[in-house]
Amino acid sequence: MFRAILFTQWKWARLPLLLGVVAAFGLPLVVVQPLPSLFAEDAGASLAIEFMGSFGPMFPLLATVLGLFLAVSAWAADHAGRHVYALSLPLPRWQLVLYRLGAGLTLLALPLLALWFGALLATSTVDLPA
């Protein structure tokens, strides 16, 4: 039953989720790209920290948007169908909720892994002075 719910949620949310994966992978790369040129200027580290700080709110914003989108998309079809399908399933409602929660957390692991790999790639490609 979990596989069916996971596949259904994937089908409902795949395009925005894939856009979120691309954004999560690319955001660290965009943040560290101009750092070597910022360190070459007179201000040095303070200018680089100020530049990186301006991108700081983008990470929680991306997480919030993706989390809210997956939470809403998980229940949108049930809400449109007045929850008739969910109530007709041969399992208790709490079990359906836990399956949907698990499927949502599984799908949220994709942008998390993309962010992690993007951060690893970004830190390995940037060359900063000591």
CB-CB neighbours of 18 under 10 Å: 13
| Cα–chain center distance at 100 | 17
129 neighbors 44 (Cβ within 8 angstroms) = no
Question: Does the pTM exceed 0.85?
Answer: no
How do residues 6-31 score in pLDDT, each as one tens digit? 998 999 999 999 999 999 999 998 88
Residues whose CB is less than 8 angstroms from the CB of residue 90 and which lie 6 or more positions away in sequence, other chains included: none
How do residues 1-12 score in pLDDT, each as one tens digit? 899 999 989 999
